[in-house]
Each structure stands twice: as C-alpha cells, then as structure tokens.
Amino acid sequence: MEFNGIIKRLESFGETINRAVIGAAIFEGIIVTLIGIVSNNLSTENETLNRLSLYAVIFLGITYLLILFFKTAYTANYPGSITNELKSERELQELRSEAERKNTINDFLVQTMQRLNGQTCSLNIGDDTHLCDGGISKGVRELIEPVIDNTFFLLNTINTKFTIGLYLNGYSSMDTPNHWESGLITIDDKLDKRHCLPKELFNITGVNGEALEIQTAIRQSFNNQQFVFKNYETNGESFSIICSNMPVACNENDGLGVLFIISKNVSSLPSDLSTHLKIFGRVIANWVYRYNECVSNRLTARQERSVFNSISLPTPPEALAPGARRGSRPPL
C-alpha cells in the first residue's frame, strides 16, 4: 500500500478514536454527576442542606465535565500530531530524493556535453575527425550513453529495461552521397522491440499492432512538434512510449526528428521529464549537425582524390627522344 494511503487510514482511525474517547468521557461525567446528586439527596433530611448540596453537586459536575473535556481534547491531538510528523517526514524524504535525482540528471547532462565536445572539437580546428567513422547509431549511443545506462532516473521508475531510438528526418551518409537519409535508428533495445522498429516505419502504411502504436506516437510528436506520452497494450503486456521532438540545430522552426523511449508501463511521469529530454534532444541535434559536416568533408575529400587520380600527367619532352631512358641525360 502507498504511504499516502496509510496516512489517510491512520487519520481516519484517529478521528474514530477521538470521537469514541470524547463520547465516553462525556457519558462518564454525566453518570458521575447524576450519582453524586442522587447520593447527596439521600444523605440528609434537611431541605436547605439538600438544596445547597444539589447546587454544589451541579457546580462540581459542570467543573468536572469541563476538566474532562479539556483533558480529552488535549489527548485527542496526540494521534493528529503523529500523522503530521509522518507527513513532514515523508515530504522531507521526497524532497531529498528529488534533489538527488536532479543532481544525478545534471551529472548525466555534463557528461553528455563533455562527450559532445570530445567528439566534435577537431572539426573546429580543421584536423581530421573520426566522428563519422562508426556511423550515426554508434555515435549517438556513445554520446548519450550516461542517459541510456540510467534511464530509470529520468523516468523516476523501478523499470530497468528500455528501448531508446531516434527518428531523423534528414542526415548524411557515406553510402548515399547524392541524397539525405531519413528513418528510425535504434540506439538501445533491452526490450527487444527491434522487430517492430524498421527504419522506414515513419512513412510506411499498413502497419498494425504495436508498430502502429509506436508509429502514431512518433508521427504525432514530429508533425505537431510536441512532447507525447501514451500507454498501449500488446500480447497482454502494458507499455509506455515517450516521444520528445528535436528541432534542427540553430533553428527552432524546423524539426530534425524525435527522441523516443519505450518502457514497461509507467502510470505517471516526472514533471521535469519533457524539459530534460528536450535538452538531450538539442545536444543530439548539435551532434547530428557536426556529423553531417564530417560526412560532407569525407565525401568532398573522396571526390577530390578521385578527380586527382583521373588526371593524366603530360609526358616530359626527354622521354620522347630516341633512346631516352628514365634518369638518363638528353643527347647534346
């Protein structure tokens, strides 16, 4: 049972006990007062004394009731104070846990930025770079590996297995130098969802089942440029898909793609999740921009080498003279 449920039950129990204690105390006071009145009336035959005794008993009875009431009211506050202390302790624990979570996520962001700088700095100073050696999937995984290994912190969930991927609307590739590539890229797949994540999923028609659920969420996020969270069921299991749109680097109006996470069912998300995913999405967008530059530079260099190798150098004049040999002097 959740802690808040326990608190509510404790509060309800405390209220019931309070009412019972107060009722019993008042009833006890009334009984004691009546007994006193009756006993005093029976103790003497003096009418004046009986009257005075009656007044005294009434006064003492009222006084007793007041004392009993205040005593009971004070005692009734005891369970309430326990509940308040439990609430305060719980709230303090939640604040500490949330602060630790945010510090951890900030560390992930710092590590990701350091990886971005480490992979892209050589482009800034004109040196050769290995940014695009391993392909875009491997490069993005290396970039956001701190997030991939600790996704449960981002989602604030006990789930430990996730499928993480990207939809990119345009990126360069050494294999297709004459046009831009687009499609889904699976970065990490601990949930074994690769069978319903083909590269062309965004554009194909006729899909159904889980692939349709994923396609719909990614399309909604990209087309509307918005954060999307939805739950769905497949084969008797419940899953959640979270999509965060990514704008093009240095351009807020054009969409680059979508960063998506598939998890076993989560009922709710942290309020700051959309902000954190947007930050990581911007880091990825800047990396993709540099990756495209790297591929472009590689293709340009390859084309220049091809042109250079295809050029035929002219034959030197001495090589045309009769009997001329490589390295011999021309005849005088």
Amino acid at 186: T
Which option is the CATH number for 128-307: 1.10.357.10, 3.40.50.9100, 3.30.450.40, 3.40.50.150?
3.30.450.40
The dihedral built from the CA positions of residue 85, 86, 91 and 97, taken in this order, carries a sign that is: positive
Closest CA to 276 of 126, 102, 49, 70: 102
At 3 the pLDDT is 58
User: Could you tell me if 239 and 196 are in contact, meaning their C-beta atoms sit under 8 angstroms apart?
Assistant: no
Three-state secondary structure call for residue 258: strand
At 326 the pLDDT is 47
Closest CA to 24 of 58, 68, 70, 80: 68
The dihedral built from the CA positions of residue 172, 177, 180 and 185, taken in this order, carries a sign that is: negative
At 27 the pLDDT is 65
Contacts of 96 by beta carbon, 8 Å cutoff, 6+ apart: none
C-alpha angle 211/213/217, rounded to 5°?
115
C-alpha angle 200/206/210, rounded to 5°?
75
User: Could you tell me if 62 and 50 are in contact, meaning their C-beta atoms sit under 8 angstroms apart?
Assistant: no
Strand-by-strand arrangement of the 162-171 sheet = 181-189, 162-171, 255-264, 237-247, 228-234
Contacts of 176 by beta carbon, 8 Å cutoff, 6+ apart: none
Three-state secondary structure call for residue 95: helix
Tokens of 264: 């076993």
User: Could you tell me if 60 and 29 are in contact, meaning their C-beta atoms sit under 8 angstroms apart?
Assistant: no
Half-sphere exposure of 201 (CA within 13 A, CB side): 27
CA–CA dist 95, 101 (Å, integer): 10
Ranges in the chain, pLDDT < 70: 1-7, 9-10, 13-14, 16-17, 20-21, 23-25, 27-57, 59-61, 63-64, 67-68, 70-86, 88-90, 92-99, 101, 105, 108-129, 310-332
Quote the DSSP letter at residue 320.
G
Domain edges within the chain: 3-96, 128-307
- What tens digit of pLDDT does each residue of 292-325 get? 888 888 888 877 777 777 665 555 555 555 554 4
Quote the DSSP letter at residue 159.
-
C-alpha separations of 304 from 8, 26, 296 in Å: 75, 101, 12
Contacts of 158 by beta carbon, 8 Å cutoff, 6+ apart: 152
Q: How many CB atoms lie within 10 A of CB 214?
A: 28
Q: How many CB atoms lie within 10 A of CB 97?
A: 11
At 64 the pLDDT is 67
CA–CA dist 144, 163 (Å, integer): 14
Closest CA to 200 of 176, 182, 173, 177: 182
User: Could you tell me if 190 and 161 are in contact, meaning their C-beta atoms sit under 8 angstroms apart?
Assistant: yes
